[in-house]
Structure 1
């Protein structure tokens, strides 16, 4: 543990499992997994075992960004200067770490309110899992219980969702906000082991950040295509996604021709440029591939790439404070949008709209947890939404959220 006052706020817990994180396949305790991904360090091509773990929730107090950086440093992974060249192994046996940060923790870092009740309160708001090279002894798994997923219960009705869209449009009309992202939640009871279902989720086409993170009584499955932030050799990249249409020829043409979608997208790109400018060398922020159309499952989505050169001495904590929560799932201005979100969404965002990925000295790769589900031991939870602008149509926004969550629910059910 890290000495000092902040140590009291940390809760180091026993090892659980992390399976197939972005660009890295890590072994759950008691199992091994091969790593054969080009982006993974050559030394990681083998098996990893869990070395240490930190869980943190908002009720514990403190700064989650600082706690994560301190915990990693205490376990041989110094990320206080991401611009420093990394040569050879770190000398401590630690290879890298999984990092998860909830949307609520990101809002806390931004100074925004988070009053909505969390639908899956057993999930931590921060999880850091440190790995080292090695082979853990294998334990035969117990026979899985039959998987059954019950009916989904929505946190709001389509009419309530539409009313929230109209409320955002009214706030835009008053000048309170330029756009805001609204997210709905649903849950369903289940029986059996949820991990196979969550693992299927991570295998969906276009899931750049597909994987499963597990803990004591909870699990998160991610099929996200969106990069929240990536840092390699001092270069910072974010890839915001805004704009969605069915993955047909007509849908692609409609997305490219939509003035509304392009305006919404460019507004978020500008927000991300400003976020990176807070942690970048002056004059280095650029935009590549503006409004490029990519495919995720049966949807087209518009993506841009914003990159910059990190300011001298940029550490993980400041990186998280500048980029969390992601602009594409909040809105502009970010703090005003978060206030609207807090007032209108009936429940918290749980595991969605946060960050999940892999960190190591000199390298950070965190996905934005859209297209994400979570299990809390009793129920599965999903979230989906979209950005609201003055030109938004309430019925179309409700339909877009349903289109985004349909592949998630079908995959979880085994279809």
Structure 2
């Protein structure tokens, strides 16, 4: 079943929110007009259904190689683009792998698109009172470490080379979450900072990682792998770590292969390898992989090639998805999927790491890391906690 709806004229645009990946020049002017939603239980091909919705509403995503350009792209009432979200489970289905454990946020669709037009600029206003209760983890430190050890055994057997393990935590909340979600979206280094909201739910993203971008005749991905505290000692340790570099290069090779599978793409190259960048209080290693577009490329082909992202699955991707489904007790929900923007002239989807969700009662967050043969279980548990800490602090204010 396809769920499409039209927002009424009085739909309250959240005053402190901007959709993830939306053009900065349009900030404060986005007005939702129509939306699309798809759940795993609906059946059908979500990539094709999403593409049909976007095309029917004026976005030329059947061939992203040939963007459309409006004579007055920023005029009031014109189509700006669409915020697009694909869950980790939907991405796994697109890749032909298992969807994993059930999502802890079943009220949030697995694929969402919200179309936005340009309106008059609005002045941001603050949200109301908000407080977060005690966090409940999906697994204990001991259980997380045991899963890391289990993945290492699978690597020793030759079943897989690398697996990304992710844990979930949730907490009750009271009050208006708007300002707290805006704080998450505004964390330093959040290339895809923004909030996407629906009926009774919202997703706040602080992701620094580009899953896929199509712009100016090139397709680009920027995998991130490798984390240390944002100190001089942490930077040196990251640069000197043979384990982190091997883990990173393995994912770069996987992403090169993902792009090479696309039709209408020229030679794939690594533009930048293992560059150290900062996200909040952490150093992270990022590479840039790209290829020229030489022919037609449709959005469904793009999504099937890159979803779910290699840096949050592992290598080989399908074998890693099997390990993930076997070890993670709670589904990845809105995290580790795709979240970003599809405009008339470009596609820019971030990987939904550093991402939280709220439903009517609880706030949900996820964090994890890549496991290789050289992984230390305790260190991997600590790394996941370090990634979660800025998100929880932002929510708490």
Please state which band the TM-score falls in when normalised by the shorter chain. over 0.9
CA separation of 1:46 and 1:172: change in aligned 2, threshold 3 A? closer
1:226-280 deviations in whole A, cap 9, x for unaligned? Answer: 0000001331000000000000000000000000000000000000000000115
Q: Does 1:114 align with 2:99?
A: yes
- 8 Å contact from structure 1 (residues 98, 359) kept in 2: yes
CA distance in 1, matches of 2:387, 2:113: 28
Q: Does 1:373 align with 2:371?
A: no
Pick aligned residue for 1:339 from 307, 319, 322: 322
- 8 Å contact from structure 2 (residues 205, 352) kept in 1: yes
SS class of match (2:234): helix
CA distance in 1, matches of 2:70, 2:128: 45
CA separation of 1:346 and 1:90: change in aligned 2, threshold 3 A? farther
Pick aligned residue for 2:68 from 70, 86, 99: 86
Q: Does 1:356 align with 2:356?
A: no
CA distance in 2, matches of 1:190, 1:400: 26
Deviating beyond 3 angstroms after TM superposition, the runs of 4 or more aligned structure 1 residues are: 89-93, 138-141, 280-283
- 8 Å contact from structure 1 (residues 84, 233) kept in 2: no
Cα deviation, residue 50, structure 1: 1.6
1:27-46 deviations in whole A, cap 9, x for unaligned? Answer: xxxxxxxxxx3xx5xxx577
CA distance in 1, matches of 2:86, 2:244: 28
- 8 Å contact from structure 1 (residues 118, 350) kept in 2: yes
* 1:130 aligned residue: 115
Cα deviation, residue 362, structure 1: 3.0
CA distance in 1, matches of 2:18, 2:131: 24
Cα deviation, residue 90, structure 1: 9.0
- 8 Å contact from structure 1 (residues 14, 53) kept in 2: yes
1:131-172 deviations in whole A, cap 9, x for unaligned? Answer: 222349x8998x955311000000000000000001100000
* 2:167 aligned residue: 184
CA distance in 2, matches of 1:204, 1:184: 21
* 1:65 aligned residue: 47
CA separation of 1:276 and 1:148: change in aligned 2, threshold 3 A? same
- 8 Å contact from structure 1 (residues 280, 309) kept in 2: no
* 2:301 aligned residue: 318
* 1:21 aligned residue: 19
Q: Does 1:216 align with 2:199?
A: yes
- 8 Å contact from structure 1 (residues 22, 365) kept in 2: no
Which blocks of at least 5 consecutive residues in structure 1 are unaligned?
1-8, 26-36
- 8 Å contact from structure 1 (residues 56, 125) kept in 2: yes
CA separation of 1:144 and 1:206: change in aligned 2, threshold 3 A? closer
CA separation of 1:226 and 1:373: change in aligned 2, threshold 3 A? same
How many residue pairs get aligned? The number is 388
- 8 Å contact from structure 1 (residues 79, 362) kept in 2: no
1:283-335 deviations in whole A, cap 9, x for unaligned? Answer: 52000110000000000000000001135110111111110000000000000
CA separation of 1:411 and 1:88: change in aligned 2, threshold 3 A? same
Q: Which moved more, 1:114-123 or 1:100-109?
A: 114-123
CA distance in 2, matches of 1:322, 1:249: 37
